[in-house]
A and B are shown apart, each in its own frame.
Chain A
Amino acid sequence: MTERSKQDNMRLGTVIFGSLMHGVQVKLDPGRSVEEIAVGRYVAIKGEKKRFFGMITDVSLEAVDPRAMVMPPDISDPFIAKVVSGTTTYGKISVLPMLTISGDAATMLEGPQPAKTVPAHFSEVQLASQRDVELVFGPEDRQRFYIGTPLDMETKVCINMEELVKRSNGVFGKSGTGKTFLTRLLLVGMLQKSGAVSLIFDMHNEYGWEGKSEKGHRVKGLKQLFPGKVAVFCLDEAYARRRNVNVDHMVKIGYDEIEPEDIALLRQTFNFTDASIQAIYGLARRFGDKKWFESTLSLGEEESKKVQKEMEIHDSTWRNLRRSLMNLQRFPFLMSHAPDDAVKNMLGYLERGINVVLEFGSYDDISAYILVANLLSRRIYTQYREKVDVSDAKGNKEPVPMVITIEEAHKFLNPEVASQTIFGKIAREMRKYNVTMLVIDQRPSGIDEEVMSQLGTKITCLLDNERDVDAVLTGVAGKSELKSVLSRLESKQQALIFGHALPMPVVVKVREYGTPESYKELGPLAGDTKAKTDKLDDLWG
């Protein structure tokens, strides 16, 4: 194909009107069918002085004369159909211009700039070429991780992982849309290219050792891919033995480690009222921060009544509180005093740059997850913060940045508890203390608005609940346009990514994870010596 015919092939139409706020409207050329256009695709617009990059956000059918729609021409005649297509009736697409490239110094130095104007009338609009996309997202390199390809293109879309981990990020999408696979990829990317360590609270045992795809295939976890860079902690010894998981540490938590805040967080799960929460804090004051949990549970009937009376706790509140605490006591990983300090162990790994995955085994109960994730994170965060303060004071090197990954984020970050949990604090304080979060959730509307607004990069698979879509897109330029893109994502392997780590929003077909080829591409041995690759081949069989 000649250069000229290639260009003709890419041409879509011309800009006819529009605004920066709502995007420009492009009339499709007569030869272009609306059926070959998809929302989310990239286009390049040749303005008079600049080139613009934008995303298709809507497609519509138009007629020059409304009467043509009521009394359509006789299109059963192919000749007439050919004539009226693109003239009397035509296709129109909405394009949201997002970046500009001009020959000025700023572009030369910093790459594409955010679009602050729109292309002139009748500017030519083309499908973005592979080169355009490379120019915008940059090549895969030491910082940039290949996450997927744009729709209908082969070019790699790369995320700058160093930029990504500087802020808290979110992965959203309704159940079964590929959040877990996407998160695995992101974790691999962070492990390889961000320079940060991850602490992953792995509720469903999907990231650490081995997971399962929806079809039931086994999928390798981080530890299997990067044995030297990942440590697996587990709460459930029996589970680890049963599944033959290569666990580095078993985690036990002492009652003395449980603070009233940890229980207060379980407010929704246990149906606690304000009075229950007050009672918990009262008990902590009465028995002491370290002993309150155990003491409350060991109260005999007489003592129990006495305490209840003295503290003026309503009978039903007291019964609910005790029942809830007993429910927690059932978990075998909780004991009156833990033999070793799980937090210290975890910190030891994290400081050495080794990523930590905490598998919950068969305790995938939400109360266990909330309790443990909050409890450990709080203590780790406190120690991290102290280290940062010390290193600031002494001018030493700061500790390695850390990313805490939590699932079911709305349980920790809903408006009622976000202000109390450590996660709410991390999300708000951001990277001041070198700790950020990766939140994974299927109901982003349940997450506190303030927290959502602080998320740097949002990666979202299909969402079809109006409130969830609104929550994810709050504060984003071109929100209503992106909304139509988001709600039309395919239910598998497609995601809309936007925010801090990318120059512009992008819909990607997420790269493969779970096949031997994908492991080869992702694994630490990619591009390494042949001997090592052969060894890996043996491993995969």
Chain B
Amino acid sequence: MDLGQKIAEVVETTNAEFLAQCYELDGTPALGSMVRAKGKDCEIYGIVCASATHSVEPGRRIMARGQGAQSETDVFKANPQLAKLLCSDFRALVVGHGRGRSMYQYLPPSPASIYAFVYTCKSEEVRDFTKSLNFLSLLIDTRLPVATDEVIAAFLRLASQTQQEPLDFLVKAGKDLAWLLSNDIRRLDSILKRLRQ
């Protein structure tokens, strides 16, 4: 996992989520990973819930260019302008914020600042943030471009790797999910099955 690396910039922001454009093409962080961006007086934490690479101009379709190339890299070598015409971005669902040493697992008072730099979170940060899993309810009830359950499972899998006792963490998270999904056993079952490493 990348440790606290600056990877993107906020280009669209709301209280609940932000869109960040990556500095590098295909440089989006893993689905479910935690990222951090500056907000007003606080650090805002989000979970990557959707990534995309597309044309910079909305109306311009990307054409296939590699028919004669030996490898995908050759396509970029032959068309150096592509790096400027294409971009990668990702959406992060805001799950909490931090102020000083304190972490709060609920929405910040104001959204992430526009053009704020976005960093990947270090393992210690993830560990600190996931001491409480209250934010899972935010995830459960959100409609996302990607299946929400996939995001939750991906996040918990990644977060568990930062813990000293990954299995205990997963069991604790599983129990929290069981409470939240007490009226939807099938959904719980499907998320739990996705938590296996």
Q: How far is the CB of A315 from chain B (nearest CB, A)?
A: 80
Q: Which of A77, A82, A88 contacts B188 (CB 8 A)?
A: A88
- Determine, out of A66-74, A292-300, A403-411, the stretch whose residues face the partner at the interface: A66-74
Q: Which of A30, A68, A71, A73 contacts B175 (CB 8 A)?
A: A30
Complex Cα gap A86–B172 (Å): 12
Judge if A540 is at the interface, Cβ distance under 8 Å: no
* Contact residues of B between 167 and 184, Cβ < 8 Å to A: 167, 170-171, 174-175, 177-179, 182-184
Q: Which of B170, B189, B195, B196 contacts A73 (CB 8 A)?
A: B189
Judge if B185 is at the interface, Cβ distance under 8 Å: yes
Select from chain B the residue with minimum beta-carbon distance to A69.
Answer: B185
Judge if A80 is at the interface, Cβ distance under 8 Å: yes
Query: For A73, what are the chain B residues with a Cβ–Cβ distance below 8 Å?
Result: 185, 188-189, 192
Contact A82 B185 (CB under 8 A): no
* Contact residues of A between 158 and 200, Cβ < 8 Å to B: none
Complex Cα gap A30–B172 (Å): 11
Contact A86 B175 (CB under 8 A): yes
Judge if B193 is at the interface, Cβ distance under 8 Å: yes
Contact B189 A87 (CB under 8 A): no
Complex Cα gap A205–B31 (Å): 84
Judge if A83 is at the interface, Cβ distance under 8 Å: yes
Judge if A65 is at the interface, Cβ distance under 8 Å: yes
Interface string of A75-104 (1 = CB under 8 A from B): 001011011101110000000000000000
Contact B175 A87 (CB under 8 A): yes
Known: A30-B175, A86-B175. A79 touches B196 (CB 8 A): yes
Q: How far is the CB of B166 from chain A (nearest CB, A)?
A: 11
Complex Cα gap A368–B175 (Å): 70
Q: How large is the interface on B (under 10, 10 to 19, 20 to 34, 35 or more residues)?
A: 10 to 19
Query: For B170, what are the chain A residues with a Cβ–Cβ distance below 8 Å?
Result: 79
Q: How far is the CB of B98 from chain A (nearest CB, A)?
A: 28
Complex Cα gap A424–B154 (Å): 78
Judge if A64 is at the interface, Cβ distance under 8 Å: yes
Complex Cα gap A74–B193 (Å): 9
Complex Cα gap A65–B192 (Å): 17
**Which secondary structure dominates chain A's binding surface?**
loop
Judge if B60 is at the interface, Cβ distance under 8 Å: no
Contact B182 A64 (CB under 8 A): yes
Complex Cα gap A82–B171 (Å): 7
Query: For B175, what are the chain A residues with a Cβ–Cβ distance below 8 Å?
Result: 30, 83, 86-87
Judge if B186 is at the interface, Cβ distance under 8 Å: yes
Query: For A64, what are the chain B residues with a Cβ–Cβ distance below 8 Å?
Result: 178, 182-183
Q: How far is the CB of B186 from chain A (nearest CB, A)?
A: 7
Query: For B178, what are the chain A residues with a Cβ–Cβ distance below 8 Å?
Result: 64, 83-84, 87-88
Query: For A79, what are the chain B residues with a Cβ–Cβ distance below 8 Å?
Result: 167, 170-171, 174, 192, 195-196
Query: For A86, what are the chain B residues with a Cβ–Cβ distance below 8 Å?
Result: 175
Q: Which of A30, A65, A77 contacts B185 (CB 8 A)?
A: A65
Contact A83 B183 (CB under 8 A): no
Cβ-closest 9 pairs across A and B:
A83-B174, A87-B178, A64-B182, A73-B189, A68-B185, A87-B175, A80-B192, A88-B178, A82-B171
Query: Could you write out 25 A-B pairs with CB less than 8 Å apart?
Result: A30-B175, A64-B182, A65-B182, A65-B183, A65-B185, A71-B186, A73-B185, A73-B188, A73-B189, A74-B189, A74-B193, A77-B192, A79-B171, A79-B192, A79-B195, A80-B189, A80-B193, A82-B174, A83-B174, A83-B175, A83-B192, A86-B175, A87-B175, A87-B179, A87-B182
Q: A64-B178, A73-B185, A74-B193 are in contact. List 6 more A-B contacts (CB 8 A).
A: A65-B184, A79-B192, A80-B174, A83-B174, A86-B175, A88-B178
Q: Which residues of A contact B (CB under 8 A)?
A: 30, 64-65, 67-68, 71, 73-74, 77, 79-80, 82-84, 86-88
Q: Which residues of B contact A (CB under 8 A)?
A: 167, 170-171, 174-175, 177-179, 182-186, 188-189, 192-193, 195-196
